[in-house]
Amino acid sequence: MTPPPSPAPHSPGAFPRVRPRRLRSTPAMRRLAAQTTLAPAQLVLPLFVREGATEPLPIGSMPGQVQHSRDSLRAEVVRAAEAGLGGVMLFGVPVTRDATGSAACRADGILNQALADVVAEVGDAVVVQADLCLDEFTDHGHCGVLDAHGRVDNDATLEQYRAMALAQAEAGAHLLGLSGMMDGQVAAVRDALDGAGHHDVALLAYAAKYASAFYGPFRDAVESTLVGDRRTYQLDPANRREGVREALLDVAEGADVVMVKPAMSYLDVLADVAAASEVPVWAYQVSGEYAMVEAAAAHGWIDRRRAVEESVLSIRRAGADAVLTYWALELAGWLREDVR
């Protein structure tokens, strides 16, 4: 980047003519000069729904977040629509799991029932999104089917993703979030959807999803049974260029949107992907990011509202067109306050 020109010289003792502080002098001036903005329509709210729950169940490692019942989920998505959020992303928490995650592919599975509930409640007032991954539904906690040696079988997993995609589309999902990081998953799912006439269902590829420690609270939220780790299919945190490569592969396979996940520790990757992608780029502010801010704020170590706003703004500034964040509803309320 070419450095800005030096200010014009002035005589000794003269005051500076170039004063960048002029554009920071009042709240109105700062708003007018802002280079990055936030709006509710740029926010997506992740939501958990637990099979058999009769009331919302608090998630211990994510203060303020719950596993919803089907009834409380319907009420929450109405609030999301009224707040003008861009979308909701649903994750299912089943009671029983098996080796292939079969409940993910059944119409009576909790995630597919919840999708139908939500679409019936809010229609297309928000984009109803479904997590398309097997980890919540498998008894081993991996994102795919295991082979005889206990390794994730990429191609066998793609067959399950195709079946899961069809079930989610038939339940009414507007967009499917492919988060499993299997090679070829976008092409496989797009082929299945198009073959069944679901041409209008959009695909969000979690293209640059890194093997991160910041997913810990999420695994609590979905009651993950994972043993081991996912480093053979999620990206190595050491690799920056690989994130761009994965994103471009997914675009070539037909992804309508690509994702970088986590967000704050990977803003460099996000900026790279945003610069290279022809399709919208989103980022997921993950459970660990949320939990750290909430914990620090609970101790009085940081200003909670300012930290939340700054963290999401930084993700937008790095190039995200939309942000998945657990603060979406609260942040939307603050944004409405700011424009009054």
pLDDT tens readout for residues 215-273: 999 988 998 988 889 999 999 999 999 999 999 999 999 999 999 999 999 999 999 99
Span 25-33, mean pLDDT?
94
262 is catalytic: no
Read off the pLDDT band of 8 (50, 70, 90).
low
Both tokens of 34, joined, read 């802002």
pLDDT tens sequence across 42-77: 999 999 999 999 999 999 999 999 999 999 999 999
At residue 338, the pLDDT reads 76
| Strand, coil or helix: 49 | strand
pLDDT tens sequence across 276-325: 999 999 999 999 999 999 999 999 999 999 999 999 999 999 999 999 99
pTM: 0.94
Looking at 142, 209, 230, 316, which residue is catalytic?
209
pLDDT tens sequence across 70-102: 999 999 999 999 999 999 999 999 999 999 999
Per-residue CA distances from 332 to 10, 38, 81, 176 (Å): 47, 9, 11, 24
Looking at 83, 261, 282, 323, which residue is catalytic?
261
pLDDT tens sequence across 171-183: 999 999 999 999 9
At residue 287, the pLDDT reads 96
pLDDT tens sequence across 140-178: 999 999 999 999 999 999 999 999 999 999 999 999 999
Query: Residue 5 pLDDT > 70, yes or no?
Result: no
Query: Residue 190 pLDDT > 80, yes or no?
Result: yes
Domains of the chain: 39-338 (3.20.20.70)
Query: Residue 9 pLDDT > 60, yes or no?
Result: no
Helix ranges, the chain (H): 27-33, 70-82, 110-122, 154-171, 185-195, 216-221, 241-253, 267-276, 287-298, 304-318, 328-338
Read off the pLDDT band of 1 (50, 70, 90).
low
SS3 of 235-289: the string is ECCCCCHHHHHHHHHHHHHCCCEEEEECCHHHHHHHHHHHHHCCCCEEEECCHHH
Both tokens of 293, joined, read 């801010």
Half-sphere exposure of 45 (CA within 13 A, CB side): 27
Does residue 90 contact residue 118 with C-beta atoms inside 8 Å?
yes
Query: Residue 339 pLDDT > 70, yes or no?
Result: no
209 is catalytic: yes
